A and B are shown apart, each in its own frame.
Chain A
Amino acid sequence: DGGITQSPKYLFRKEGQNVTLSCEQNLNHDAMYWYRQDPGQGLRLIYYSQIVNDFQKGDIAEGYSVSREKKESFPLTVTSAQKNPTAFYLCASSGASGSFAYEQYFGPGTRLTVT
């Protein structure tokens, strides 16, 4: 089945540690996105990538980093510089290099807790 996988579903880390969240898609989509969701709030864009080896900052990129070495994969690293990393992280993908006209498809999310 085609879709987006994110692992793990729940992740716990100590403050000061970097952590990498995985996102893989087999939809053959060009564009991939990372969003952050806090309780009772909408989604905020962290980073996005329209093609391999290229990515752009979203609205809240500080304290995060990404890579796009393969079309299928777009891992997100939450660094120790991120002041409030505890949140629900959602990965998405979209066809046609992320044209504004295309819907995004989402993975199941990773709930990160940092203590």
Chain B
Amino acid sequence: AQKVTQAQTEISVVEKEDVTLDCVYETRDTTYYLFWYKQPPSGELVFLIRRNSFDEQNEISGRYSWNFQKSTSSFNFTITASQVVDSAVYFCALSEAGIYNQGGKLIFGQGTELSVKP
């Protein structure tokens, strides 16, 4: 069955530390997409990145980087030199292809609450 696990419920770091948020997924499909979203205290989810199952290249965007490893079914997210504004809940999500997913439904992990202290 499809599932997304974010084992870290809460993480607390001091500003400028690097932090990695873990995401492990399970899927029955060979074609799928993985996503990361940020939910600041205001509540609105902000899209961060999309990665398809055929592209295992790591991606970097400013202080953010993502490490996708199909061998371990993981899609981890690292924030380098964290800042107070990074404090939020971060969600990893999975979208499967084909007959299992008419309509592009997302399966979300439970979320990791990141607190960055000054």
Q: Which of A45, A90, A100, A111 has the most CB of B within 10 A?
A: A100
List residues of chain A with CB within 8 A of the CB of B109. 42
Mind listing 5 A-B residue pairs with CB under 8 Å?
A: A97-B103, A104-B106, A105-B47, A106-B45, A108-B44
A42 touches B111 (CB 8 A): yes
A45 touches B110 (CB 8 A): no
B111 touches A48 (CB 8 A): no
> What CA separation (Å) do A6 and B101 show in the bound complex?
26
Interface size class of B (residues with CB under 8 A): 20 to 34
> What CA separation (Å) do A106 and B3 show in the bound complex?
21
List residues of chain B with CB within 8 A of the CB of A42. 4, 91, 108-111
A100-B96 contact, Cβ under 8 Å, with A41-B110, A42-B109, A42-B111: yes
Partner of A99, one of B47, B104, B106: B104
List residues of chain A with CB within 8 A of the CB of B106. 43, 45, 104
List residues of chain B with CB within 8 A of the CB of A103. 35, 47, 50
A31 CB–B CB distance under 8 Å: yes
Extra 14 A-B pairs, beta carbons < 8 Å, given A90-B45, A98-B103: A31-B104, A33-B105, A43-B106, A48-B103, A50-B102, A90-B44, A94-B104, A98-B104, A100-B32, A100-B96, A100-B101, A101-B95, A104-B47, A106-B45
Smallest Cβ-Cβ distance to B6: which chain A residue: A42
B8 CB–A CB distance under 8 Å: no
List residues of chain B with CB within 8 A of the CB of A99. 104
List residues of chain A with CB within 8 A of the CB of B46. 106
> How many A residues, CB 8 Å from partner?
30
B33 touches A101 (CB 8 A): yes
> What CA separation (Å) do A109 and B40 show in the bound complex?
12
Report the minimum CB–CB distance from B80 to chain A (whole Å). 23
Report the minimum CB–CB distance from B76 to chain A (whole Å). 17
B105 touches A45 (CB 8 A): yes
Smallest Cβ-Cβ distance to B37: which chain A residue: A106
